[in-house]
């Protein structure tokens, strides 16, 4: 509100309080800090009838409204304020929905009805988190999630502040603390269990006790209830805790909370232990600093771990700061302000009742007769993500789909074609199909026969020795002149070389902890530095973790149950998939060219997500490759499908020969060299924490972009294999089908209601 107060008059209207019986209704007024925000508290006579309150509040409000010149924005945190304010003429009505209030203890019965009215009245709705947005998004056409941000500088003071508040100073260490309203959302049994399990810990609870009797709070010698504190004081208390707590009960009233204190605690440099609140797990669950525990035993254990962490100012804190860097109230303010401006602009345009109805329906899948667009869906990108969705939507839901790709062919990066020598080759490097998912294999089997093929790769090391990669027993024997005969012997050998790594984080850690430095340098360091343009120590562990280490002599590159190549190639498989009534394919068309004029209801975008949003937050790094394809006048070039070249002095990473994969026989052969590049077509998302943090900002934007879905390797910035993209597309389709089912039912109900009237 402070930010909104710049250049505007902001008045906060509080819940009424009650004064003497004989008092006439009045408004108490105060100014909040330096913000200029005026807080008005209605004071009503004690004992006055509840049914008279509305009229009293309305009269008081009207005196305030009469003093205002210019446009008014009505901004509601609760629908309960609607009855005495709904008549006020406003340029924009905002519903800032912070919780599923109807699930709260003592929630008034009229709340649900009033919320329905407010949803109808509001020009724009904000929700205090994603779960809440997911629950309410079908209720309003202009609804946006705004999970809590954080005033980092304010709470970061907890990292440096010395000198404790008097009521906390004497408490023994270690200390675990919570601040916030103490109400029915707090898991009191959990608090008691925690205090009992670790009597030597001090558990500090700050905040007013609301809606529950103080006697209901568990009492223990190490449980300290210090009462409510000012926002200004919180960092000083936090500074005296080792670990911050979120001991919320998991029930209806906490299903949609998105606690602001999570980023605040983290900004204060404290590890957090929480019960499994959906939005906490969703936004922060991947951080080492945030432990989620569902049972009292697990919660105590998680507190032990968090305490251990709090003693080290290590990488966990860096990861916290990277995540928090993307959060700021200024950005929240900017985006809210923009939405309010847009909503007010839309309200100013006079609309006929017919138009209002149409606008409300524009976001639903079912249109009134006469407004049918030529396409239900525009899908951008004819790779796996786009083609699977086009096929499913057309064949299963009877949708009319326009599928476009800027390339002159289907298949995305999996595209293959016969070259001048008649060899079926992969234009964008070797694509080997492998999966453990029966669903994915069965789905694709409708469009292709398969040719059994298990990919094998050799690494060219030490100036010319060819040994199997992934490292297996044969690799070790050939490299070191050993005769390791069993898995156990190979395992013992690797163990003697492996270097323990306390916490495996990076792509270097993964390999060194499994096989030691020498094998790491022989097989991984150079290859990775070439492929990614950075050291493995700078890349997330997931990159090199793709390549296992084996103690057996299994020399297959993949271990999946299903390893086959499409018998007639990928392109033919895509053609079969897209040969459906309802699909219109336009190749050589860039989305940007048609963005403004294409006529469709919904969009599925499978290109780079940052490009879709015009690089609003900056470019997401994608790694590229240059392919050099060669036709050789010889039957074979190398003994296996791919040979890797980890040596940094060699400019390419690998050479692949397609005939091994396709089983073709032909007097000539075709090979492809891969030269990693920083610029060029985006092929690989680069798994690093800061890139993930940047992607999360785009993802947040994507989530609130109505009627657009982002699917695939580039659009969800995930280093996915083909089968994972197919799985993701099928899951997206299931969600669409479910939603369409719901919308259809809702539309029918609405139509029936109209007919009945
Ligand atoms: P893509 O295949 O990239 O398709 C996206 C499409 O969108 C592209 O065709 C692009 O032209 C189009 N597009 C983007 N922006 C626009 C726009 N603005 N307008 C119009 N069209 C647009 N996976 C495996 O399982 N096994 C392997 O062996 C394997 N090997 C690989 C080797 C290499 C060299 C590479 C780069 C990837 C490999 N993969 C492999 C991964 C595989 O390619 C991907 O998982 C899969 O192709 C991703 O499908 P997609 O639909 O998400 O993206
Ligand atoms: N890698 C390596 N040496 C190898 C093979 C792989 O260092 O011989 C590392 C490298 O960082 C590579 C990653 O492991 O990018 C994943 O390998 P994969 O073969 O899965 O890569 P992709 O086929 O996706 O390019």
Q: 127-136, 167-176, 388-397, 714-723: which has the minimum mean pLDDT? A: 127-136
Mean pLDDT of 343-368: 42
Q: Which helix (H) or strand (E) segment is 709 a member of? A: strand 708-710
CB 687 within 8 A of CB 543: yes
Ligand 1 binding pocket includes 625 (Cβ within 6 Å) = yes
Mean pLDDT of 359-387: 64
Is any atom of ligand 1 closer than 6 Å to the C-beta of 604? no
Dist. CA 253–CA 250, nearest whole Å? 8
pLDDT above 70 for 360: no
Determine what percent of the chain is predicted with pLDDT higher than 70: 94
Q: Which one of 140-149, 237-246, 579-588 scores highest in mean pLDDT? A: 237-246
d(CA 202, CA 224): 7
193-201: long-range pairs with CB below 8 Å, 24+: 193/296, 193/299, 193/300, 194/247, 194/296, 194/299, 194/300, 194/303, 195/220, 195/222, 195/223, 196/220, 197/296, 197/300, 198/222, 198/300, 198/303, 200/172, 200/174, 201/174, 201/175, 201/176, 201/303
Residue range 111-158, pLDDT digits in tens: 888 998 999 999 999 998 888 888 888 888 899 989 888 899 999 999
Q: What is the mean pLDDT of residues 196-224?
A: 95
676 CA → ligand 1 middle, Å: 16
Give the strand order in the sheet containing 654-657: 465-469, 457-461, 642-644, 654-657, 669-677, 622-632, 684-685
More confident residue, 142 or 33: 142
Using the predicted structure, report yes or no on whether residue 366 has a pLDDT greater than 60: no
Q: Give CA–CA dist 560/436, Å, rounded.
A: 5
* Ligand 1, atom nearest to 611 Cα: 18
- Give CA torsion, residues 333, 361, 380, 375, to 10 deg: -160
Per-residue pLDDT of 727-752, as tens digits, reads 999 999 999 998 877 555 555 555 44
Does 406 sit in the ligand 1 pocket, CB within 6 Å? yes
* pLDDT above 50 (res 361): no
- Tell me how far the alpha carbon of residue 53 lies from the centroid of ligand 2, in angstroms: 70
Greatest alpha-carbon pair distance for the chain in Å reads 106
**Residue 427 pLDDT exceeds 70:** yes
- The mean pLDDT value for 158-165 works out to 88
Ligand index nearest the alpha carbon of residue 524: 2
pLDDT of residue 105: 67
Percent over 90 (pLDDT), the chain: 72
Which pLDDT belongs to residue 326? Answer: 77
For residue 541, give both structure tokens: 């562990």
pLDDT reported for residue 363:
27
315/536 Cα distance (integer angstroms): 16
What whole-number distance in Å separates Cα of residue 654 and Cα of residue 652? 6
Q: How far apart are CA 519 and CA 709, in angstroms?
A: 43
Q: Rounded mean pLDDT of the chain? A: 90
CA–CA dist 541, 692 (Å, integer) = 13
* 549 Cα–ligand 1 center, Å: 27
What pLDDT sits at residue 601? 87
The whole-number average pLDDT for the span 36-52 is 90
In this prediction, residues 43-48 reach a mean pLDDT of: 91
Q: Which atom belonging to ligand 2 lies closest to the Cα atom of 524?
A: 7
Q: How long, in residues, is the chain? A: 757
- Across the range 53-76, mean pLDDT stands at 92
Q: What residue ranges line ligand 2, CB within 6 angstroms?
A: 459, 469, 523-524, 527-528, 531, 543-544, 546-547, 644, 646
Q: Which contacts of 98-106 are long-range, i.e. CB under 8 A and separated by 24 or more positions?
A: 98/127, 98/128, 98/132, 99/128, 99/132, 99/256, 99/257, 100/132, 100/135, 100/252, 100/253, 100/255, 100/256, 103/252, 103/253, 103/255, 103/256, 104/184, 104/253, 105/183, 105/184, 105/211, 105/253, 106/211
- 185 pLDDT higher than 50: yes
Does the CB atom of residue 384 touch ligand 1 within 6 A? yes
Residue to substitute in 506, 530, 547 for testing ligand 2 pocket (most ligand atoms within 8 angstroms of CB): 547
Q: Is 92 exposed, middle or buried (0-12, 13-18, 19+ CB in 10 A)?
A: buried
Intra-chain end-to-end CA distance of the chain, in Å: 43
Task: Please write the tens of the pLDDT for every residue from 382-417.
Answer: 999 999 999 999 999 889 999 999 999 999 999 999
> Residue 674 CA: which ligand 1 atom is closest?
34
pLDDT given for residue 742 in this prediction: 59
Distance 282 CA to ligand 2 centre (A): 29
Is the Cβ–Cβ distance between 719 and 685 less than 8 Å?
yes
Between 125-129, 256-260, 472-476, 541-545, the lowest mean confidence (pLDDT) is in 256-260
Helices and strands of the chain, counted as H and E runs: 27, 31
468 CB-side CA count, 13 A: 22
Q: What are phi and psi of 709, to 5 degrees?
A: -120, 145
Range with lowest mean pLDDT among 555-559, 578-582, 612-616, 721-725:
578-582
Q: Check whether 327 has a pLDDT greater than 70.
A: yes
Say what the pLDDT of residue 680 is.
Answer: 94
- Asked if pLDDT for residue 357 goes beyond 60, the answer is no
CATH 3.40.50.2000 domain extents, the chain: 152-327
pLDDT at site 109: 77
646 CA → ligand 2 middle, Å: 10
Average pLDDT over residues 446-461: 96
Going by alpha carbons, the residue nearest to atom 7 of ligand 1 is 381
pLDDT of residue 372: 54
Q: Which two tokens stand for residue 734?
A: 């299931």
From the options 3.30.56.10, 3.40.462.10, 3.40.50.2000, 3.30.750.24, give the CATH code of 152-327. 3.40.50.2000
Q: What residue's CA is closest to ligand 2, atom 9? A: 544
pLDDT at 749: 53
Q: Which two tokens stand for residue 361?
A: 């329906």
Tokens 């990488």 — which residue?
315
Q: Tokens at residue 587, please?
A: 């190749």
With contact defined as beta carbons under 8 Å apart, do 693 and 322 qualify? yes
Average pLDDT for residues 492-503, to the nearest whole number?
96
**For ligand 2, what atom is nearest to the CA of residue 536?**
11
pLDDT band at 56 (very low <50, low <70, confident <90, very high): very high
From residue 714, give the alpha-carbon distance in Å to each of 593, 680, 682, 699.
Answer: 20, 14, 8, 12
pLDDT surpasses 70 at 14 = yes
Cα 431 to ligand 1 centroid, rounded to whole Å: 10
b (16+ CB within 10 A) / e for 572-603: bbbbbbbeeebbebeeebebeebeeebebbbb
d(CA 515, CA 551): 11
Give distance in angstroms: CA of 190 to centre of ligand 2. Answer: 46
Average pLDDT on 247-268 reads 90
Q: Is the pLDDT of residue 700 over 50?
A: yes
Can you say whether the dihedral through the CA atoms of 716, 721, 722, 724 is positive or negative?
Answer: negative
For residue 167, is pLDDT > 50?
A: yes
Would the pLDDT of 314 be above 60?
yes
Higher pLDDT, 292 or 32: 292
Give the chain's radius of gyration (CA, Å): 31
């Amino acid at each position: 509100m402070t930010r909104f107060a710049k250049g505007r008059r902001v008045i906060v209207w509080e819940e009424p309080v009650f004064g003497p019986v004989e008092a006439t209704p009045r408004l108490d007024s105060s100014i909040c800090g330096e913000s200029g925000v005026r807080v008005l508290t209605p004071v009503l006579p004690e004992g006055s009838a509840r049914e008279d309150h509305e009229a009293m509040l309305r009269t008081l409000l009207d005196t305030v409204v009469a003093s205002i010149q210019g446009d008014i924005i009505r901004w509601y945190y609760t629908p309960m304020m609607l009855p005495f304010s709904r008549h006020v003429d406003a340029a924009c009505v905002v519903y800032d929905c912070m919780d599923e209030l109807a699930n709260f203890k003592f929630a008034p019965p009229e709340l649900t009805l009033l919320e329905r009215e407010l949803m109808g009245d509001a020009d724009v709705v904000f929700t205090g988190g994603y779960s809440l947005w997911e629950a309410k998004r079908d209720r309003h056409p202009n609804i946006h999630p705004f999970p809590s941000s954080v005033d980092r500088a304010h709470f970061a003071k907890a990292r440096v502040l010395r000198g404790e508040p008097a009521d906390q100073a004497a408490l023994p260490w270690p200390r675990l603390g919570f601040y916030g309203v103490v109400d029915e959302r707090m898991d009191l049994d959990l608090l008691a269990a925690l205090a009992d399990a670790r009597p030597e810990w001090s558990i500090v609870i700050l905040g007013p006790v609301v809606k529950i009797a103080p006697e209901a709070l568990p009492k223990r010698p190490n449980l300290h209830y210090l009462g409510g504190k000012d926002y200004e004081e919180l960092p000083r208390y936090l500074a005296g805790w080792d670990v911050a707590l979120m001991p919320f009960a998991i029930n209806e009233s906490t299903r949609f909370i998105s606690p602001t204190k999570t980023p605040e605690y983290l900004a204060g440099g404290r590890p957090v232990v929480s019960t499994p609140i959906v939005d906490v797990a969703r936004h922060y669950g991947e951080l080492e600093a945030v432990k989620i525990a569902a049972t009292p035993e697990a919660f105590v254990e998680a507190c032990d771990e968090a305490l251990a962490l709090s003693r080290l100012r290590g990488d966990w804190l860096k990861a916290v700061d990277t995540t928090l860097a993307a959060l700021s109230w200024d950005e929240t303010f900017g985006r809210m302000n923009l939405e309010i401006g847009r909503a007010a602009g839309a309200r100013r345009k006079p609309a006929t009742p017919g138009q209002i109805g149409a606008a409300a329906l524009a976001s639903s899948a079912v249109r009134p007769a006469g407004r049918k667009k030529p396409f239900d869906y525009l899908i951008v990108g004819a790779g796996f993500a786009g083609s699977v969705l086009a096929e499913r939507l057309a064949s299963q839901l009877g949708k009319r789909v326009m599928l476009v790709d800027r390339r002159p062919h289907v298949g995305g990066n999996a595209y293959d074609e016969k070259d001048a020598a008649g060899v079926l080759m992969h234009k964008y490097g070797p694509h080997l199909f492998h999966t453990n998912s029966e669903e994915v294999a069965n789905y694709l089997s409708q469009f292709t026969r398969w040719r059994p093929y298990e990919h094998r790769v050799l690494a060219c090391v030490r100036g010319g020795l060819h040994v199997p990669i992934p490292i297996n027993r044969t690799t070790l024997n050939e490299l070191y002149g050993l005769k390791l005969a069993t898995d156990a012997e190979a395992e013992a050998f690797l163990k003697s070389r492996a270097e323990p790594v306390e916490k495996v984080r990076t792509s270097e850690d993964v390999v060194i902890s499994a096989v030691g430095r020498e094998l790491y340098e022989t097989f991984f360091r150079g290859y990775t530095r070439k492929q990614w343009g950075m050291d493995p120590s700078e890349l997330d562990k997931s990159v090199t973790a793709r390549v296992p280490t084996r103690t057996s002599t299994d020399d297959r590159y993949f271990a999946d149950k299903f390893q086959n190549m499409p018998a007639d190639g990928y392109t033919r498989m895509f053609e079969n998939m897209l040969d459906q009534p309802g699909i219109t394919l336009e190749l050589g068309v860039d989305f940007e060219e048609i963005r403004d004029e294409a006529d469709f209801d919904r969009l599925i975008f499978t290109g780079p997500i940052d490009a879709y949003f015009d690089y609003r937050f900056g470019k997401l790094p994608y790694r590229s490759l240059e392919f050099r394809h060669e036709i050789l006048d010889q039957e074979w070039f190398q003994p296996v499908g791919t040979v890797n070249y980890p040596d940094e002095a060699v400019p390419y990473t690998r050479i692949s020969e397609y005939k091994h994969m396709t089983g073709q026989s032909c007097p000539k052969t075709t090979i492809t060299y891969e030269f990693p590049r920083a610029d060029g077509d985006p092929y690989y998302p680069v798994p690093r924490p800061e890139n993930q943090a940047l992607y999360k900002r785009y993802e947040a934007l994507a989530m609130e972009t109505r009627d657009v879905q982002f699917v695939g390797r580039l659009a969800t910035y995930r280093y996915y294999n083909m089968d994972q993209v197919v799985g993701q597309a099928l899951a997206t389709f299931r969600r669409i089908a479910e939603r369409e089912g719901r919308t259809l039912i809702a539309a029918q109900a609405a139509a029936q209601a109209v007919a009945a009237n």
